[in-house]
Amino acid sequence: MRHHGETSSQPSASARSGDWHTLSRLFPYLWQYKWRVVFALLFMVGAKLANVSVPLLLKQLVDTMNLQPGDGRVALVVPVGLLLTYGALRLSTSAFTELRELVFAKATQGAARAIALQTFEHLHALSLRFHLARQTGGMTRDIERGVRGIESLISYSLYSIVPTLVEVGLVLSILGVKFDAMFAWITIAALGIYIFFTVRITEWRTRFRREANEFDSAAHTKAVDSLLNYETVKYFGNEVFEARRYDESLERLRRSRLKAQTSLSLLNTGQQLIIATALVAMLWRATQGVVDGRMTLGDLVMINAFMIQLYIPLNFLGVLYREIKQSLTDLDKMFVLMDREREVADTPGAQPLALQGAPSVVFDHVSFAYEANRPILKDISFEIPAGKTVAVVGPSGSGKSTLARLMFRFYDVQQGAIRMAGQDIRAVTQASVRRALGIVPQDTVLFNDTVAYNIAYGRPGASQAEIEEAARAARIHDFIASTPQGYQTSVGERGLKLSGGEKQRVAIARTLLKDPPILVFDEATSALDSANERAIQAELASVAQNKTTLVIAHRLSTVVDAHEILVMEAGQILERGTHAQLLASQGRYAQMWALQQSGETS
């Protein structure tokens, strides 16, 4: 498998086999439309047969018109039948070509759609680790070019390369049978030299195209990243710095594209020289045949017409070959994304999580590390009883939010197990686990859509009345109703048109609308003012009744009513108990409580 940074100037055997591998992977998507493929090929052959017949008929017309002076058939010098046949052949060439494109369009678009959808679904199936490390701009560019590459690859191969090869075969057969073999050998020699030259030069200049694509993706990534962080750029006054970084990428892209253009000029010049030499040699031999009486004037016209018909597609063969190679490269990059291993995958034959009401959640000697040399959780064991609330408190970096990520199976535990209703969540489907969970995250990111869409995302298909009921429970309905467009108000990119508190209340509303049996509140009210926090805390406490709830918090005042409180530090549980028990023990929790109480009263 090739890597994104591959820039070797000469194609290796593995690269060539990689092209065939890419084609073999594309073929099944096309073969779903096998009858369309068959009919498209038949129409293509029909078009080429009609096209090759045109010069043959042209020869008949010229020879028919070759009359001697005083011939009494002057009125018949232009046989109407031949002219009508000539026009019909010209028309049928276009008709067969259009029928081919019409029949095959569904196959092309269907394959592009299927591969794009499969890539999109696979990206959603990849782990959180992949998405935290990805470069969104470059990745979306790879997908975009891959989909476009499918259409280009099919178009250039079926509509240009294959028809040209068919036509070359037909013309060589006619020249070899009707005239002496030298005509065919001149054509074969020209084609051989032309193809060899085109392939070698195109392979040499492929690295310039590949570099240009890499720099294009890099420039696009920088632009997207900078615009997504618009506010941060403004906070630090770094507009000039961002423009300079973007311009550096554009300059590298410009130099790479100049190299590509220079090498293209060399390719085109060489191709023209080969074609012109072959054309002159063919016409010189045909002219000699006419002079010697071995050939008619119609034969000369026919050979010239054949060469022109071959010359036109051959003139673009270099462009076609280059575009096909580029399409294969782009398609291969998309297949590389599709081949990315899933870090978290369902076990074969996994069944959905079986629940009856709110389940218990058990962390059984769980250890986990994002990186092998940096453990996050160290032998963590606790239980959230069915329908009860357990709170986890502690300083930043203690591993609290990792508990929620493991419950959602964004990662799998390295040691121990997490069980819901007695079932190891690694043995059931991820989708069923996530259906049973609802989360209000600390950092809320919204879709660039309406308020109604973002709330309804908790349960797509919910009615407007249900959306408004969830908004009332999250204490945001009055704010939404006060806006000119109400629930159709756009929240902007990542929800930036809303304040932090408004975004958090939208997140609460969509989780309430989902109404899952297990709730996770990860600093669910951290962006709210004290008055709204107390009101929503009461609402959340009401919603959490008879639900299994994990609360992750910094502010201890929000968890005093939890059935059990866990105090975490450095990936371990230091203390556990109720609020009163932990205060009475005068340990780490009591110190944190005293510190926060003094801060609030000062």
**Amino acid, single-letter form, for residue 16:** R
Asked if the model's pLDDT at residue 8 lies above 50, the reply is: no
pLDDT, mean of residues 163-188:
79
Q: In 86-125, at which residue ranges do the beta strands (DSSP E only) sit?
A: none
Q: Is the dihedral of CA 533, 538, 543, 546 positive or negative?
A: positive
pLDDT at 495 over 80: no
H-helix or E-strand spanning residue 144: helix 136-156
- Band of the pLDDT at 479, cuts 50, 70, 90? confident
Instruction: Say how many residues make up the chain.
Output: 602
Q: Which residues contact 545 (CB under 8 A, 6 or more apart)?
A: 387
Which residues, 6 or more positions from 527, have their beta carbon under 8 angstroms from its beta carbon? 444, 499, 500, 501, 503, 504
Q: How far is CA 103 from CA 53, 63, 188, in A?
A: 24, 39, 33
The pLDDT > 90 percentage for the chain reads 3
For residue 81, CA distances in Å to 92, 301, 522 come to 16, 20, 85
Average of pLDDT values for 516-523?
86
Number of Cβ atoms within 10 Å of the Cβ of 3: 8
How wide is the angle at C-alpha 136 spanned by C-alphas 131 and 142, nearest 5°?
A: 110
Q: What is the pLDDT of residue 392?
A: 92
Q: Chain centroid to CA 376: how far?
A: 33
DSSP type of residue 450: B
pLDDT at residue 329 tops 70: yes
Domains annotated on the chain, with CATH: 15-339 (1.20.1560.10), 353-436+516-602 (3.40.50.300), 445-515 (3.40.50.300)
Per-residue pLDDT tens digits for 201-232:
877 877 777 788 778 878 888 888 888 788 78
pLDDT at position 362 is: 92
Which residues share a beta bridge with 424? 419
Which residue, 390, 396, 407, is CA-closest to 569?
396
CA end-to-end span of the chain: 63
**Among 154-163, 459-468, 475-484, 575-584, the least confident range:** 154-163
Closest CA to 355 of 452, 423, 426, 438: 423
- For residue 1 the two structure tokens come to 């498998």
Split at pLDDT 50, 70, 90, the class of 336 is confident
Q: Is the pLDDT assigned to residue 542 strictly greater than 60?
A: yes
Listed residue (110, 137, 148) closest to 329, CA to CA: 148
SS3 320: helix
Mean pLDDT is lowest, of 71-75, 296-300, 329-333, for 71-75
- Lowest mean pLDDT across 188-202, 343-357, 457-471, 530-544: 530-544
Q: Which residue has the tokens 């407007």?
A: 464
pLDDT tens sequence across 367-401: 998 887 788 888 899 999 988 889 999 888 788 88
pLDDT at 516 over 80: yes
What is the reported pLDDT for 156?
72
Per the prediction, the chain carries an average pLDDT of 78
Amino acid identity at 74: V
What Cα–Cα distance (Å) separates residue 109 from each residue in 31, 74, 121, 353?
13, 55, 18, 38
12 pLDDT above the threshold of 70 = no
Strand ranges in 395-540 using DSSP code E only, listed in sequence order: 415-420, 423-424, 437-440, 518-522
Per-residue pLDDT reduced to its tens digit, 560-580: 888 899 998 888 889 899 888
Which residues lie closer than 8 Å to 34 by C-beta, 6 or more apart? none
How far is CA 449 from its chain centroid?
A: 21
Q: What proportions of the chain, in percent to the nearest 5, are helix, strand and coil?
A: 65, 10, 25
Give yes or no for a contact between 537 and 353, defined as CB atoms under 8 angstroms apart: no
In 157-238, which ranges are continuous DSSP H helix? 162-178, 181-228, 230-235
pLDDT score of 183: 79
Bridge pairing between strands 389-393 and 564-569: parallel
**Cα–Cα distances in Å, from 171 out to 135, 161, 521?**
51, 15, 75
pLDDT value of residue 158? 66
Q: Measured between alpha carbons, how far is 334 from 119 in angstroms, rounded to an integer?
A: 7
Q: 5 or 478: which carries more pLDDT confidence?
A: 478
